[in-house]
Amino acid sequence: MNVDLSQLTEWRREFHRFPEIGWSEFWTTSRIADYLEQMGFEILLGKQIINEDFVRGRQSAVVEQGLANALAYGAKQKWLDKMDGYTGCVAVLDTGRAGKTVALRFDIDCVNVSETQNPQHIPNQLGFRSLNDGFMHACGHDAHITIGLGTALWLSQNKDKLSGKVKIVFQPAEEGVRGAAAIAASGVIDDADYFAGSHIGFCADSGTVISNPKNFLSTTKIDICYKGKPAHAGAAPHLGRNALLAAAHAVTQLHGIARHGEGMTRINVGVLKAGEGRNVIPAGAQIQLEVRGENKAINQYMADQVMQIAQGIAIGFDVDYETEIMGEAVDMNNDPELVKLVEEIALAQPEVHSTNADYAFNASEDATILGRRVQEHGGKAVYFILGADRTAGHHEAEFDFDEKQLLTGVKIYTTLVQRLLG
Ligand SMILES: [Zn+2]
């Protein structure tokens, strides 16, 4: 294996062919582990990197299907055993020399999109389109896996030039901001002095790196379930407990949460499902909602109010209730020292002609949970955007990106590690 564009392209196309949705990335993880093992890394899996209390939005049907698909596609049993139901892995490189610790993060999941049949689409032309119907690497996380592996390969060949430790996090379930919290809470990167993560594409074309994206929105995705009691709507409505009515009241109250005076907030109830039949007092209701806030504290205010209302309504309507956090991300401010370093490194690449430091991200990304965890333990963090020309928007069926930027990504990460640990 050499860290060159042909190796990177080969990896990217291999992962592109077998996209897996969040928490079902069993084949993806096992394949990453195969490569990391060949490179000589220590590989942490399963509960070594996952705190089960912070696992968000993981559905058992998706997990079961993912396991079955992975086995059918040739995932190694030894990795599946070590994963113990939880996808993702962390590669650890200990140089054996005292020094700092750098954590890098690459997300590995796909999105629920069916890849286009358009014959002009390069994965169709070159025969590496998705084999998993209804799923596609339409956000570029196949690029992220590849850049992570390329960085790992370089590290394995150059560790004599470094001191300290590198931890490469291959994170599951970024879509829906579900995977980072469990990894952060496992403590696996608590010893990191530096953290770096990135996304390919978005607003930036090939040749541009956004070294300091701002305005990451904090968000919490919450499900509320009301459970009442069915009864005959004509003869005995007084014996029923109406979950639909409880949920309907909850929805209007949720949208009426007082706005925070110190910053932007959002709330959206996106799904309300309730009831079984016209003449039955509805016994079940489910609400799916999200809140957002300008920062972690303001978002937490919104989430706390949601929990309060969920409970208050349950008492008022005499129904049982459950809430579950399905996903979360926080805001994060990049540390200027690392922004400067990324900028300098990016501009030193001949193919990069500009760095845009002040781009407003205005979306959520759960790498922020890992970055902030490192910052809260006294470390420094940076998240940047690696420009790449695209054929369509992210999460679209025709999405594809300029594969040459894979090498640019590897060069930025490997130089960054060299500068921090060299
Ligand atoms: Zn993405």
**Can you tell me the distance from the alpha carbon of 289 to that of 361, in angstroms, rounded to the nearest whole number?**
22
Which class in CATH covers the domain with range 218-328?
alpha beta
Q: What average pLDDT does range 62-84 have in this prediction?
A: 97
5-216+331-421: CATH, from 2.30.110.10, 3.30.460.90, 3.40.630.10, 3.20.20.70: 3.40.630.10
Can you tell me whether residue 390 is helix, strand or coil?
A: strand
- Average pLDDT of the residues of the chain: 97
**Can you tell me the distance from the alpha carbon of 128 to that of 18, in angstroms, rounded to the nearest whole number?**
9
203 Cα–ligand 1 center, Å:
12
269 Cα–ligand 1 center, Å:
23
Residue 357 has pLDDT above 80, yes or no: no
Q: What pLDDT, on a 0 to 100 scale, did the predictor assign at position 358?
A: 77
Domain boundaries, the chain: 5-216+331-421, 218-328
Answer whether 5-216+331-421 and 218-328 agree in fold: no
200 Cα–ligand 1 center, Å:
8
Which are the contacts of 257, defined by CB distance < 8 A and separation ≥ 6?
265, 267, 302, 305, 306, 309
247 Cα–ligand 1 center, Å:
32
Q: What average pLDDT does range 184-203 have in this prediction?
A: 97
Tens of pLDDT, residue by residue over 30-46, are 999 999 999 999 999 99
396 Cα–ligand 1 center, Å:
12
Q: What pLDDT, on a 0 to 100 scale, did the predictor assign at position 414?
A: 98
**Can you tell me the distance from the alpha carbon of 61 to that of 66, in angstroms, rounded to the nearest whole number?**
8
**Can you tell me the distance from the alpha carbon of 394 to that of 14, in angstroms, rounded to the nearest whole number?**
20
Tens of pLDDT, residue by residue over 114-158, are 999 999 999 999 999 999 999 999 999 999 999 999 999 999 999
187 Cα–ligand 1 center, Å:
24
Per DSSP, 422 falls in state -
Backbone angles phi, psi at 419, to 5 degrees: -70, -35
Tens of pLDDT, residue by residue over 235-271, are 999 999 999 999 999 999 999 999 999 999 999 999 9
User: Partners of 386 in the beta sheet?
Assistant: 200, 209
199 Cα–ligand 1 center, Å:
7
Backbone angles phi, psi at 214, to 5 degrees: -120, 180
Can you tell me whether residue 33 is helix, strand or coil?
A: helix
**Can you tell me the distance from the alpha carbon of 218 to that of 327, in angstroms, rounded to the nearest whole number?**
11
**Can you tell me the distance from the alpha carbon of 281 to that of 237, in angstroms, rounded to the nearest whole number?**
7
**Can you tell me the distance from the alpha carbon of 81 to that of 37, in angstroms, rounded to the nearest whole number?**
16
180 Cα–ligand 1 center, Å:
13
CA 362 to chain centre: 16
Residues with CB under 5 A from ligand 1 (ion): 139
81 Cα–ligand 1 center, Å:
28
Which are the contacts of 50, defined by CB distance < 8 A and separation ≥ 6?
86, 88, 182, 183, 186
Tens of pLDDT, residue by residue over 264-312, are 999 999 999 999 999 999 999 999 999 999 999 999 999 999 999 999 9
